[in-house]
Each structure stands twice: as C-alpha cells, then as structure tokens.
Structure 1
Amino acid sequence: MTALLENPTARVKWLAVPSSAAWLEAANARPDLLLIDHAHCERKAAGVALQLMFRYPSDAALAEALSPLAREELEHFELVLQVLERRGIALRPLAAPAYGASLAAAVRRQEPHRQLDALLVAGLIEARSHERMALLAAHAADAELLQLYGELLASEARHFGLYWVLAEERHGREATVARLEQLALVERNALGGELADPHGLRMHSVGVAGG
C-alpha cells in the first residue's frame, strides 16, 4: 500500500520558479476572492484524484492511495466553506484562469505517457498550491487566514509527495524526473505575465518571479 507519506520528495524540485511578490500582494488585497477560488480548487483536486481512479480501474494500489487523498481534499473544501460562511460570503462560480488548461494541454494522449503526465500535472498543481499557501501562512494580512493556511501546509505537501511516489513506482525515477523538468517549464510559462484585472486573482493566477 502507498500511504500519504510525510515527506517523500524532500529532494525533488517541483517548481521551476517561485511565486512573485506581486501575486502575494494581490492575494492579501482580495482575501475573500481568494477564499472562494480556494474552495473551488479543493473540490477540483478531489475530482482529479477520482478521475485517475476511474481511468485506471485495474490499478488497485492507485485507488487505495488516491481514495483517502480525495476525502482529505473534500475535508479541506468543507473547511474553507466554513470560513466563507463565518464571513457571510456565498460560494459562487468564478472564471478559471488559463493555468489548468495549459497544463492539461501538455498531457500526452497515449499510454503509458498519459498516466505519467497526469500524475505529474496533479503533483505540480499541488506543489504550487502548497508554495502559495506557505506564503499566505507567513504573510497573510488576515489572522484567520494565517491560521487556515498554516493548518493546510502539511497535508498539501503530502499530496504532491504522493503523486511523485505514484509516478515513480509506475514509470521509474529517470523517466519521472525527466518529464517533471519539462512539465515544470510548462507550469512556469502558464503563470507568466502580469495580472491585468484585479478581479482575476486566483490561487493559480499569473505571478511568478521573472514572469
């Protein structure tokens, strides 16, 4: 069984570049908007895990690993919902940034490459979420959000660690490292540029160093 490991990827460099100070400034200026998007992100993350389980139904170990991850993502969704409710903010649809679509477009369509790419894309998204939550846990202007993001950091790190383990177990370390390097550049490019509309702030909106 592959468990939700504590920190199996301490020496794996997921992200090509860090997030920018401009993204953090925008996030602190619009915490309620970020919370709404965060709720959607947690729900989508649960959906990604479930989609992988359904796509590879004969891989029992994959399902055994991803089922608790999906439950934990939904627990996080519920936690963010509680914060929104305390603030009197209704969950509403938000236009998604181009980030997710850009990464999805890089996933190769033929197996076994498709599975490797899907696992690594999921891990990259989790890694970026963790990096940005760490910024908010250290620098959020709102005390409640400092606590929220601080509480979520450990589990977010486990999530991208798990995706790495699943990829390496199935595709080998050499192929996994090489493909991660390529996809990390796609991820960096997806976050390049400046935020033209402040209402477009998202957990995965543009804003990286040198972008």
Structure 2
Amino acid sequence: MLFSSTLPVVHTLKQRTSWAWVEQAINHLDTILLDHSHCERKAAGVALNLMFRYPSHGKLVRQLTAIAREELEHFEQVNQFLEKRGIPLDFLSSPPYGAGLKAQIRRLEPDRLLDSLLISGLIEARSHERLGLLATHCPEPELAEFYGSLMASEARHYGIYWLLADTYFERDVFTRRLEDLAIVESELLATLHPEPRIHG
C-alpha cells in the first residue's frame, strides 16, 4: 500500500483528505500541476482583491502584499515544472469547491471581510494538508521535494488570514464563524471530484 493510515488533520479542517484523492492525484500529476498553477494565480488575485477592497486596513494591506508576492513566485515555479514537462498553461474546469465557499460570503460589511478572510484561510489550510500529502507520496523525487518546500508558506498564509480575522473581529465572533465555514469546507470535499484537482 502506498499510504500511511495516519494522514494528518490540519487545525480546524473538519475532515482529512481521503486516500482516494491522494491516489487520484499521483496518478494524474500533469493535471495536478496544471491545476496547481491556476490555484497559485487565483490565490494571488484573492490577496490583491482584498487589498484593493480594504485599503484603509493597514495591517491587512501589509500582510497581503507579502502573500500576493509569494503566491506569484509559486505560480512561476509551478509554471517552470509545466514547461519542463511540455504542458501548456491551459484552461481547466473548476470543481464546486471554490464556488461553494464563495457562496458562503455574506454581502454586507463587516461580515463580508470576516468571511473572506476565514475562507481564504481555510483554502490555504487545505492546500497545506494536500501539498504535504503530495510531498510524502509523490513518486517523482524532484516534484515531491518541491511540494515539501511549499508547506511552510501555506501554513504561514493560513495563519496570516486567521490572525487578520482575529485582529479586526472579536475572538468569539471569529471562532464561531470559522467553525461553521470549516464544516461547509469539508462537506464540499466529501465527494471526490471525478477529475483530479488540488481542491477537488
């Protein structure tokens, strides 16, 4: 068997990633890399959009400037792997994960800011968990090492989003809402997407 029975649970994630996802991912590494490229680009866009929406939130702008820069560096690194493998940067259909989480964002402020920060943190936490699984189980040493190298960044990113939520909101408001959103996040991943995706 390829996998350990002790897959990690990352902080507030309500369900750990299934072995079926790991198996699917390592059997379709080219598609996972392409999807990973799209994920890094989108993550940079999320950070930039929050900076533009809340320019008066000084701490948020400073922290998310660093995240956006780092996500774009990762985007470039993933694209280098794609080039080595002769894979064009092309369109991929999206699983329901991102849209399902986005649908949870309330429209009115300050709820919109809180939900945006917490959902971004949950996505980064799931990325941390799944990149760790790829680092452990990927049969290609260079790619496994690359995924391992990204784990610290992903952990730092979800920590920053949740610390920002804790900065701008009361602790009990922040933790109650995070609990609710974490349940939704896990429910969205309960059924394995038929096509391999980082968040599918």
TM over 0.5: yes
Residue 159 (structure 1) aligns with: 157
Measure how far apart 1:185 and its partner are: 0.6
Residue 111 (structure 2) aligns with: 113
Equivalent of 1:201 in 189, 192, 196 = 196
Equivalent of 1:46 in 16, 41, 44 = 44
Residue 135 (structure 1) aligns with: 133
Residue 7 (structure 2) aligns with: none
Q: Deviation per CA, 1:69-121, whole angstroms, max 9, x where unpaired?
A: 10000000000001111111111110011100000001111111110000000
RMSD, matched Cα: 1.0
**What is the one-letter code of the residue matched to 2:119?**
V
Equivalent of 2:143 in 145, 163, 175 = 145
Cα distance in 2, alignment partners of residues 136 and 107 from structure 1: 30
Cα distance in 2, alignment partners of residues 136 and 123 from structure 1: 20
Cα distance in 1, alignment partners of residues 71 and 156 from structure 2: 12
Cα distance in 1, alignment partners of residues 124 and 149 from structure 2: 15
Residue 5 (structure 2) aligns with: none
Equivalent of 2:181 in 167, 180, 183 = 183
Residue 55 (structure 1) aligns with: 53
**What is the one-letter code of the residue matched to 2:138?**
A
Measure how far apart 1:60 and its partner are: 1.8
Residue 71 (structure 2) aligns with: 73
Measure how far apart 1:24 and its partner are: 0.1
Measure how far apart 1:194 and its partner are: 3.3
Equivalent of 2:84 in 83, 86, 101 = 86
Measure how far apart 1:23 and its partner are: 0.1
SS at match of 1:99: helix
Measure how far apart 1:172 and its partner are: 2.1
Following TM superposition, the consecutive aligned residue runs of length 4 or more in structure 1 with deviations greater than 3 angstroms are none
| Structure with larger RCO (C-alpha < 8 A, sep 6+) | 1
TM-score relative to the length of structure 1:
0.88
Aligned length: 191
Any unmatched runs of 5+ in structure 2? 1-9
Cα distance in 2, alignment partners of residues 110 and 132 from structure 1: 32
Cα distance in 2, alignment partners of residues 173 and 137 from structure 1: 34
Residue 36 (structure 1) aligns with: 34
SS at match of 2:55: coil
